[in-house]
Structure 1
Amino acid sequence: MDFLKILSRGTSVSKGAAKATPTQQTPSSGATSNPQLFGLDTATQTAQDPTKTGSKKRKRTRAAVTPAIDLPPELDFFGDANHAKTVGTEEADDQKADEGTDNVEKVEEVKDNSQPLDEEECKRILRSHKVKITVLEDYNKAKQEHMDAERKSKKRKKSKESVEAPPKKKSKDQLYPEPLTSFKQLRSRHGISRRLAENIEAQGYTMPTEVQLASLPLLLHGTAPESNGIDLLTVAPTGSGKTLAFLIPLLHSLLHQRHDQESKLGKNGIQAIVLAPTKELASQIANEGRKMSLNTGVKVSLMRKGMEVVEEDAEQDEVSENFKASASDSDSGSEDESAPKSARRKRGQLVKSDIIVSTPLALLHALKQSNGSVAPLKSARHLVLDEADVLLDPLFREQTLDIWNALTNPHLRVSLWSATMGSSIEELAVNTINSRWSSIASEAVTRPNLIRLIVGLKDSAVPNIHHQLTYAATEQGKLLAVRQLLHPTAPRSLDPADTPSLRPPFLIFTQTIPRAQALHSELQYDIPPEAGGSSRIAVLHSSLSSKQRDSVMTRFRRGEVWVLITTDLLARGVDFRGINGVVNYDAPTSGAAYVHRVGRTGRAGRAGGVAVTLYTEEDIPYIKNIANVIRRAEQVRGVDEQNSCVKQWLLDALPTPSKRDKKELKRRGVEARRAGVEGERTRGKWRTQISTRSGFEKRSERNRREAVEASKKRKIEGKGDADAGSGSEFGGFD
C-alpha cells in the first residue's frame, strides 16, 4: 500500500509534489553529521568503527538489520527513535559484558581493547582521505649521511680514486601513522587530560576531519617523554579544523608540564605563542583556546595594546631612569630629545599567561626594549603560525622573523598552518629553521624532524561548494548583477542537480576600502524596510576602529546583518559556519586569494555554499588563474565538462599572465580600479567607479560644478579689481 496516497487523499498535494524537496540545502541549515571532505564512500564506515573490519560475525549482524526507509522530513515522525533502537541492538552485547561498570568506563574499555590498525589499513584510510605525510628533513639521518660522506671522501683521497659516483637524488620518506578515527581515542589511546576530553566533547566534536585525523597522532606522539617532537608544516583546505588541530596538542603539552616539578604553569613565563595576520582571526583563536582550556588551569590571552610579555632588565631600567633624570635636570624642563621614543614609552602590566595569541606587530611592539632591540623570550617552547603564507609574505615577513628569532629556547617546536603555501614560502620556512638550529648548535638537544602534511590537492578550493564565474563587462554590469542576486527575478529551481541560488547571509569582497564604502552606499537601501532596511547591510574594513569592527562582527554572527561588504580583511581564517555564499565583486588578485575568499562558506563539510565571481574587461588578462582553480575544484567534486561553469574554450581563450604581471597584480591589484576610485579625471577612468550613473551624467555634473566655481571666482576677482581701481582714482578730501 502506498502511504503517500493515503496521506495526500482529500488534499491538493500530489504524489510527485510530496516527493519533491523544495527546501535547498545550505550551510546555514545546520551542522553536518560528517565534517570530512574526502573518503566518504569507502573509508567512513571503517573510520567510524575500525574494530568491525574483517569480522564476519559483525557483517552478518549488519546485514540482518532492516534498512530504514527514507521518508520526507514532514512524514518521518519517529526517525530519532528508530535510530536509537538500531544503535541499541548493535551495542547490546557490549553492554551485557560490562553490566556493573560506569558508562564512561565502558566506552574507554572498548576503545582500549580495540586492536591497532596495521600499516596497510593505515595506508588505505589515509589515501582514501587524500592525506599525504612526507618527511622533509630527517636531520638525524642527514647527519649520519654527512658523516659517511666525509669518511668516503677521506678514503678516496687516500686511494686517489678519480672516478666519482653520480649523486643520488634525495627521496622523501612518507609516513603512515595510525589515523585518529574518533575523538574518544584521544583519551584512551593518547592519554590526554580528562578535563580536556570533556571540553572537546562539550563543543560537539565527534568525528575528526582529515587534517585532524592525521596531525593529532603526529603532534600528540611528539609530546611524549620518549619522543623528540616534530616541526610540522600543514597545508589543508579552508574550514577543515586546523585551529583545533594545533590547540589540542598545545594544551596537552602544557598540561604534561604541570607534573614536572621544575615547571609551573603561569609562573614560568609564556609557554606558547600563536601568530595570526588579523585581529579578527587572533580573537577567534583565543576564544577557541579558552573553550578548550576551561577548568584546566591553562590561561589563554589575546594580545592587546599596553600588555607586556617580558620583564625589563635592570640595565634597561637604569637607562630609562637616567633618561628621566636628564630630562628633569634640564633647564627647559622638557624631555631629552636624544632619548629614543621607546625609552619614553610607559611600561604596562606584565601578562602572566601560558598561551599568547597575537598579530605580529602587536607582539613585536611588546617585545621592544628601551634601547630599540627585541627582547629574547626564553620560556616559549611552542610557536604556531596560522595562515603562515601571509605571515611569511613580504608584508609581515620582517615582523614574523624578528619574533621567531627572539624565541631562543632550544626546545622550541614550530608548526605552520595554511590552506595555500607556495614553494618559496616553504623554502623560506625550512631555511629559517636550519639557520636557527645552526646558530643554537646545542649538542644536548636532539634536533626534531620537519614533516609536511598535505590534505587533498595543494592550493585548491574546497570541493563541496558551487562556483560561478560571471562576465559583467563593466562596473555598472557588476552592480546590476549584485542587485539581481539581492532581488532574484527567476524562479528557484527544485531540481537538486541544478546550481543552487545564493541566499543570505553572504559576504561581498572588494579590492580596496573606498570601493567597499562606495558599494555599501549604493546597496544600503536595496533591502526593503519590512525586512530590516539598511540595518541588514554593513561594511567592514581596517579603517574602522576596533570597537566598530567588533560591533559589526557581533551583529553579523547574530544574524542581524545579512550582507557584509568587506575587503580581504576577512578573507583568511575567520570562521562563519552559517555563511551561505561569497560574492567576489572585484576578482581576487591571485589563485590563493580566491581559495581563501570562497573558503568562508562550505566550512566543516557543509554543502550548498555558492561562490560567485564577477569580472569585467579590466580583469580578463588576469582571470585565468581563478578559472584554473575553479576547474580543478570541479574535477575533484566530479563535475563533468558539460555542467562545468568553466568551459575548455574559455580556458583556451583567456590569456596567460606573466610572472611579472602576477607579482604586480598581487601587490597593487587592478590599477584601473585603484585610479578610478581615487578620482583621477583621466579619460576613461571614471567608468571603473561604483555608481549607477552613466559617464555622460557624471561629465555633465562635473562641468556644471566647475562652471559654478569659475563664475564665483570671476565675481570675486572682478570685485577686487573694482575696489583697487576706485581707490587709485579717488584722492581723498582736502
Structure 2
Amino acid sequence: MKTFAEFGLEPKVLQAITELGFEESTPIQDKAIPVALTGKDLIGQAQTGTGKTAAFAIPLINKIPVTEDRIVALIMTPTRELAIQVAEEIGKLSRFKGIRSLPIYGGQDIGRQIRALKKRPQIIIGTPGRLLDHINRKTIKLDDVETVILDEADEMLDMGFMEDIQSILKLVPEERHTMLFSATMPPNIQRLAQQFLKDPEHVSVIPKNITAPLIDQAYIEVHERQKFEGLSRLLDMESPELAIIFGRTKRRVDELSEALQKRGYSADGLHGDLSQNQRDNVMRKFRDGSIDVLVATDVAARGLDVSGVSHVINFDLPQDPESYVHRIGRTGRAGKEGTAWSFVTPREIDHLHFIERVTRQKISRKALPSLAEAIEGKQRVTAERLLEIIQSEDFNEYKGTAIQLLERYDSVHLLAAALKLLTGEKKDVNIELTPEDPIRAKKRRPDVRTNGRRFNGFNDRGRSGGGSGYRGGQGGGGNRGSYGSNRGSYSGSSNRGNSGSSSYGSGRGGYGSRDEGRGGEGRGGEGRRPRSSSDDYVNN
C-alpha cells in the first residue's frame, strides 16, 4: 500500500490526513485515489468499512479551489445516517483547506437546511428524496456541479431511488466527473453506470468470502430466559471498548438497553421510532465514548460507520445470512481485529447452520461464561487501568493519602478494596425481558399441487405478496405473491401461524388462489398469531 504522501496531494489535505492518524492507504484508496485524481469516471466495488469514503473524498477535496462559492460537487447516499457520516469525514479531511460541505436529508427541518445553503457550500451530501425536494423548491441548483458521487449505489436502488437518481443526474451538466461506489454489481447498477458514466475505470477490492477474515466469530447456546444473564457475564468477561448489541425488534432494544442501564452498564438504544434528534444524541454519545454499549435494530444500524467497535453481539439471531454479515461487519474495521458473538436458543441451531452454509464460515461454539470468568474479566481490565495511571505518573496529589493508609492498613487489603471499588459491584436487579419467538431455519418443502415445483415467494418474507409475510395480511398479486404471503397458512401447524392468522385450509385465498390475488388474507381461525408483535418485525 502507498503512503498518502505518494499521491501528490495538497499540503493542507495531507496535513489533515496525517493528523487523523492515517499513514497507509487501504486497498480501495490505493486503487481509486490515483484514478479519481485524473478526473476519469470510476466504478469502485468495495464493502462498507474498507475506507471508500476517503477514497472519493480525498481527491474531491484536493481539487476544489477554496475560493469557489458554488455547489461544484454532489454526493448521493441511501440514508441520512450515511449522509451525516460522509459529511463528518469530509469535514475532518478539509479542516485545514476550509472546504464547506453540507448534509441534506429528510427528517431535519427544511428551513434550517435552506438557511445553511445560503452559506454557499461547495459540496452537498444528500439523500435523493430530500435533494429532489430542494431542487423543486429551487433552493439547490446543479448547473455548476462538476463532480457527482453515488455512494452505496446498490443500497440506493434496493430502497427504490432509481427514478430519483435518474431525475437528479439529468439536471447535472453532462461534462462532469462521475464516480459510483457499490458493494455489488447487479444488472440495474450496470445499467445506471452505462447511462451516466463515460468509459469508467472499474476498481474492485471485494474479498472472496462475504465475511471479514479479521472477525473472530463464536456462538453461545442458551435458553431465551438465560440470555440476559449470559450477556451480562459476556460483557464483564470481554470488557469491550465499544460494543453494538443487536436485538430483533424495537421493543427488544428498548427493554434491553433499559435493563443494561439498571445493571450499571453504560448503554443506550437505537431504533426506527426515535426522532432524528434522539438518534443523533445517541450516536454522539457512542462516538465520544460517553456510552460504550449501543443496542440497535438492523434498520437503525443501516449505514452506521463507527470506528473502534471491538465487539458485535447478536442478542437475537437475524432473520437472514445477509443481515448477519452486515451486523458483524460493524467490527474488525480498518485492519483491526474484531469479535462477534451470537446467542442461539436450542430451537435456532438449525438456523445458525443455515447462516454458516450461506456465509461459508464456521462459527465456533463457546460455553456460557461462568460467574468467576466474568469477575476475573472485570478485575483484569481495572488492573490494566491502574497500571496505565502508574506508567503515566499522574497521581502525585494522591500520594499523601496513600502513605497514611499504608501506615494503618495492609497493602494487599488496601489494593483489593481499591479494585473492588473501581470494578463496581453489579447492581442486583432482577431483569425480566419479554421473550421473542425463535427463528425457524428455512426449510423448503415441495408444493403437493405442483409436483415438487416451488414458488419463489416461499421464503421471501412475503415481499412478492405485498410485504405481508410476517403480518399475514392481504398479500396481493396472483399465485406467487399469494403463496409467499400466506406461508403461515400452508404450514401453520409447524410455524404456529407466524406468517398469518389462519391455518391449512383457511377459506378465502388460503392456498394461494388466483381469486383477486388475495393469497394472504386467510379468514380461517385455526392459526395463532405469534406472541410478539408483528409490527416489530415489519416496521423496525
TM over 0.5: yes
Residue aligning to 1:403: 168
Match status 1:286 vs 2:93: no
Distance 1:577 1:212 in 2: 17
Distance 2:310 2:333 in 1: 10
Structure 1 residues 37-58: Cα deviation after superposition (integer angstroms, max 9, x where no partner): xxxxxxxxxx5xxxxxxxxxxx
1:385 to 135, 143, 150: 150
Match status 1:413 vs 2:164: no
Residue correspondence of structure 1 range 269-668 to structure 2 within 5 A: 269-303=70-104, 305-306=109-110, 350=118, 352-369=120-137, 377-407=142-172, 409-418=173-182, 420-421=183-184, 423-424=185-186, 427-436=187-196, 447-457=198-208, 460-470=210-220, 477-488=223-234, 501=238, 503=240, 505-525=242-262, 527=263, 533=264, 536-612=266-342, 614=344, 617=347, 620=350, 626-632=355-361, 644=364, 655=443, 659-664=456-461
Give the deviation of 1:585 after TM superposition.
3.2
Give the deviation of 1:195 after TM superposition.
0.9
Q: What one-letter code is carried by the residue in structure 1 that aligns with 2:94?
A: S
Give the deviation of 1:232 after TM superposition.
1.4
Structure 1 residues 389-447: Cα deviation after superposition (integer angstroms, max 9, x where no partner): 2111144444334333333x1123332334x42x53xx21221233347xxxxxxxxx3
Residue correspondence of structure 1 range 248-263 to structure 2 within 5 A: 248-255=58-65
SS in 2 for 1:603: coil
SS in 2 for 1:664: coil
Contact 1:618 1:670 survives alignment (8 Å): no
Distance 2:323 2:150 in 1: 18
TM-score, normalization by structure 1: 0.48
Contact 1:275 1:384 survives alignment (8 Å): yes
Distance 2:324 2:497 in 1: 23
Residue aligning to 1:184: 5
Distance 2:229 2:276 in 1: 30
Contact 2:470 2:498 survives alignment (8 Å): no
Q: What one-letter code is carried by the residue in structure 1 that aligns with 2:99?
A: V
Give the deviation of 1:463 after TM superposition.
0.8
Contact 1:468 1:613 survives alignment (8 Å): no
Residue aligning to 2:68: 265
Residue aligning to 1:132: none
Q: What one-letter code is carried by the residue in structure 2 that aligns with 1:513?
A: K
Distance 1:381 1:375 in 2: 15
Q: 1:196 to 1:348 in 2, by over 3 A?
A: closer
Distance 2:260 2:191 in 1: 48
Q: What one-letter code is carried by the residue in structure 2 that aligns with 1:594?
A: Y
Residue aligning to 1:695: none
Structure 1 residues 462-509: Cα deviation after superposition (integer angstroms, max 9, x where no partner): 11111124555xxxx3352243121259x96xxxxxxxx574632122
Q: What one-letter code is carried by the residue in structure 1 that aligns with 2:323?
A: A
Contact 1:186 1:197 survives alignment (8 Å): no
Identity between Structure 1 and Structure 2 (%): 27
SS in 1 for 2:7: helix
Structure 1 residues 592-639: Cα deviation after superposition (integer angstroms, max 9, x where no partner): 32222111111111114224254674795x65653235434x6xxxxx
Q: 1:449 to 1:560 in 2, by over 3 A?
A: closer
Q: 1:252 to 1:503 in 2, by over 3 A?
A: closer
Structure 1 residues 573-595: Cα deviation after superposition (integer angstroms, max 9, x where no partner): 42322322112234334433222
Q: What one-letter code is carried by the residue in structure 2 that aligns with 1:234?
A: Q
Give the deviation of 1:277 after TM superposition.
2.7
Contact 2:310 2:337 survives alignment (8 Å): no
SS in 2 for 1:392: helix
Structure 1 residues 167-218: Cα deviation after superposition (integer angstroms, max 9, x where no partner): xxxxxxxxxxxxxx2112023xxxx211111111111111111212222222
Contact 1:195 1:295 survives alignment (8 Å): yes
Q: Which of 1 and 2 has greater Rg?
A: 1
Q: What one-letter code is carried by the residue in structure 2 that aligns with 1:184?
A: A
> What is the root-mean-square deviation of aligned Cα atoms in Å?
4.0
Contact 2:83 2:125 survives alignment (8 Å): yes
Give the deviation of 1:655 after TM superposition.
3.9
Match status 1:203 vs 2:20: yes
SS in 2 for 1:455: coil
Contact 2:220 2:341 survives alignment (8 Å): no
Q: 1:515 to 1:277 in 2, by over 3 A?
A: farther
Distance 2:166 2:352 in 1: 33
Give the deviation of 1:566 after TM superposition.
1.3
Q: What one-letter code is carried by the residue in structure 2 that aligns with 1:582?
A: V
Aligned length in residues: 401
Contact 2:102 2:125 survives alignment (8 Å): yes
Give the deviation of 1:687 after TM superposition.
4.5
Distance 1:369 1:521 in 2: 43
Distance 1:232 1:466 in 2: 31
Residue aligning to 1:242: 52
Give the deviation of 1:230 after TM superposition.
1.9
Residue correspondence of structure 1 range 674-685 to structure 2 within 5 A: 685=529
TM-score, normalization by structure 2: 0.64
SS in 2 for 1:561: coil
SS in 2 for 1:484: helix
Distance 2:194 2:23 in 1: 38
Residue correspondence of structure 1 range 91-110 to structure 2 within 5 A: none
Distance 2:497 2:133 in 1: 34
Distance 1:288 1:202 in 2: 13
Distance 1:625 1:414 in 2: 40
Give the deviation of 1:550 after TM superposition.
1.7
Give the deviation of 1:245 after TM superposition.
1.0
Distance 2:532 2:496 in 1: 9
Q: What one-letter code is carried by the residue in structure 2 that aligns with 1:486?
A: S
Unaligned runs of 5+ in 2: 367-440, 446-453, 472-487, 489-494, 503-524, 535-540
SS in 1 for 2:460: helix
Structure 1 residues 282-339: Cα deviation after superposition (integer angstroms, max 9, x where no partner): 2221111111112324211122532699xxxxxxxxxxxxxxxxxxxxxxxxxxxxxx
SS in 1 for 2:110: coil
Contact 1:582 1:610 survives alignment (8 Å): yes
SS in 1 for 2:461: helix
Contact 2:500 2:529 survives alignment (8 Å): no
Q: What one-letter code is carried by the residue in structure 2 that aligns with 1:250?
A: L
Contact 1:677 1:688 survives alignment (8 Å): no
Q: 1:608 to 1:431 in 2, by over 3 A?
A: closer
